[in-house]
Chain A
């Protein structure tokens, strides 16, 4: 399996059958659409998914250059004709990239999540002129000042110390907002334990502090509305995914997944 045409360095391109994706997570990444991302200097991410065999299987890696993308892609394509379990285990499990099965609810969870990340980054790259690092610093500082102007003393202290702060929503729920563009909103339980992860941010390539401010204001004024816009994952889903991953590691080398794994799913 080969992409119809590899994009030139700097392009944002779409493959018809392949599904490149995103940064490595601690257990799995895949995506729904074939987008290769680059800024002209660094290609953000790339991954492949093939649905021509037994369901879909995924592979992902951070790759710093076009050349490495081609090498990685060719390696993946060679593996793609093998049974899916072997393909995954043979190509995906490295020290920095691990994966899990797709034949379950968990797959849909990760699949959708990563696809949206890629699509969002692609949209952002299409927007606006490139800015210099000096301009970026100035913009980030301006956004930080605006954010700080809207935080309470406790929130400011926590943010300056830990790059995160807590917000009580209009529904009385407690959230922790982390200094991250994506996947930085956590709903906490009464003990302060994370129970949900939300991924939601404003349209456009805006500074991270503006992202945080937008999330804060939306939570304080209309949590329900923000939830409708967000992709929400429970940490229960993570737990299931990690169980699947451990089971796959245990059965590395098997051409097909063991029956009990299917049942567990």
Chain B
């Protein structure tokens, strides 16, 4: 077993060697610009891009023409949300989203608010899912867009996307979903989900960084977007800019591999994840899973280790790459807003660790992580005044803390 161990596959994934192999010729050999319509260099690049478009479409049950390539999911989210708000301004100015969305969605919505739009941020329940009743109640005759993520990047919780899609359809509202974490990991079909716009990213899928896609429904309804990057009118006029051919080829190959391997890989990761969870619970008391275990990505686990602060925990397992919702690990010095939204208390957000398993995670690695974490949590609890107080019978919630 090689150290350090990578168990942060929600942050990014390594490029699969098969993907890299597919990409390589498009840097030096087939370097043409697909927009060059009058020579062979352009033609072969265009063919490669169209092949990739088909591969991505096949993964999500779409047609190739409905896939727009972008620089990544942040751009896809921006294009979807701003593009709809601008295009359908005459129809309404209300957008519905949810508090646990990725910043690429939340901050885009905040920008729209500054420009006069009205945005409803739906709360989530304890399990991390929105309530469909809340969604129905939030809809007005001015609602033009519902944007709710398919799977959360921190807690892996799956939103009831098919149900949300059905409600949006019934009300004639465009439905966008940030599907970055789910695509290629669990079956996701744009027609079953009744999704009109779907954001995807290559680097969460064993493809390269800097490339993503946006699914834009062409029929029933035909969704129009106002371009956010002006220029040569590439990608059906929705996203100008010379196409990143090697990146797009990589995304296509990654999508093809994901489609082939999803079923077996998903089951393998679920087994590993469940073993990780069971072994941690067997070794340690007072550990809490954040978010629904039932409606969850198979490769995600997010656990709070009570009375131990997340950054100090990461420091103790420095040969394991995971992430924490602790304030100390974030640029903003605020604990995870996703965990806070679950209502479990800020102290548990500070104590959380996110595990993201992936294509190269092994049994041996899971066992190593369990052993290492157990040792460090025990050591830090011996050093924790909170753990000592709880063992003495003090109710921490009744203490008067001197906040600073």
**Are A and B bound to each other?**
no
Name B residues whose Cβ lies closer than 8 Å to a Cβ of A. none
